Amino acid sequence: MKAGKALGAIVLLYVFTLALVPLRLWIAAQFDSTHRSIGIILSCIAMMACGYPAFIGLTAWPGPAMLFLIPLFFTIIGLYYNAPLTGFMGMVFTMRHRGIGLSVGYALGIALFGGFAPFINTWLVGWTGDPRSPGLYLALTSIITIAAIIYAKRRLPTPRVQS
C-alpha cells in the first residue's frame, strides 16, 4: 500500500475517533454514577472474539479501506473499555496510593503488553506461519484484562445512591 493512502486512512480514522468523544464522555459519566463494570468486561469479550477475524479480514482485503475500518471497529467496541478506564483505575486505589498506583500500573501495563506487542506478534507470525496470529495475542491480553478487572472490582466502593 502506498504511504499516502495509508496516511489518509489513518488521518480519517482520527477524525472519526474525535467525533466519538461526546459518546466517550457519556459512557464515562455513566460509569462514574453507577460503578458498573459490565460494559468494560463486555468490551474485552468483544475484543477477544473479534481479534482473529479482524486479521482474517485484513489479510483477505489489504488496503486503505481495511486500514481505516478495522481500527475504527475496535475503537467503537473499545469505547466501553477505554472511556471508564481512568475512573475505574482511580477507584481501585485509596487516595493515598492513587498517584503511584495509577502511574506505575498504567506504565507497566503499557510497557509490557504494548511495548512488547511488535516483538510478540512478529514471533507469533514466525512460529505459527499465520499472519493472522496477532489476533490471538489480542485475545490473550483481553482474557488477562478481564481477570484483572474482576480481581480489581472487589476493591471498588459500593455505588452512591442517587436521590
Task: Note the pLDDT of residue 44.
Answer: 93
Q: Which domain holds residue 149?
A: 3-153
C-alpha span between 162 and 29 (Å, rounded): 14
Residue 161 forms part of a structural domain: no
Confidence band, pLDDT 50/70/90 cuts, at residue 68: confident
With a cut of 90, say whether residue 1 has pLDDT above it: no
Instruction: Decide: 159 and 34 in contact? Cβ < 8 Å.
Output: yes
Confidence band, pLDDT 50/70/90 cuts, at residue 42: very high
| Residue given cell 473499555 in the structure block | 81
What's the average model confidence in pLDDT over 25-42? 88
Residue 54 forms part of a structural domain: yes
Residue 115 forms part of a structural domain: yes
Number of domains in the chain: 1
Task: Note the pLDDT of residue 80.
Answer: 92
The average confidence (pLDDT) of the chain is 87
pLDDT tens readout for residues 69-93: 998 999 999 999 989 888 888 888 8
Higher confidence at residue 105 or residue 46?
46
DSSP string covering 78-109, please? THHHHHHHHHHHHHHS-TTTHHHHHHHHHHHH
Neighbour count for residue 142 (Cβ, 10 Å)? 21
C-alpha span between 41 and 93 (Å, rounded): 19
Task: Note the pLDDT of residue 159.
Answer: 58
C-alpha span between 96 and 58 (Å, rounded): 46
With a cut of 70, say whether residue 157 has pLDDT above it: no
Residue 48 forms part of a structural domain: yes
C-alpha span between 80 and 36 (Å, rounded): 11
Instruction: Decide: 58 and 99 in contact? Cβ < 8 Å.
Output: no
Residue 136 forms part of a structural domain: yes
With a cut of 90, say whether residue 35 has pLDDT above it: no
What's the average model confidence in pLDDT over 143-154? 89
Q: Which H/E stretch holds residue 159?
A: none
Residue 81 forms part of a structural domain: yes
Residue 163 forms part of a structural domain: no
The full 3-state SS of 4-63, as one line of letters, equals: HHHHHHHHHHHHHHHHCHHHHHHHHHHHHHHCCCHHHHHHHHHHHHHHHHHHHHHHHCCC
Residue 111 forms part of a structural domain: yes
What's the average model confidence in pLDDT over 1-15? 85
pLDDT tens readout for residues 88-130: 888 888 888 888 888 888 888 888 888 888 999 999 999 999 9
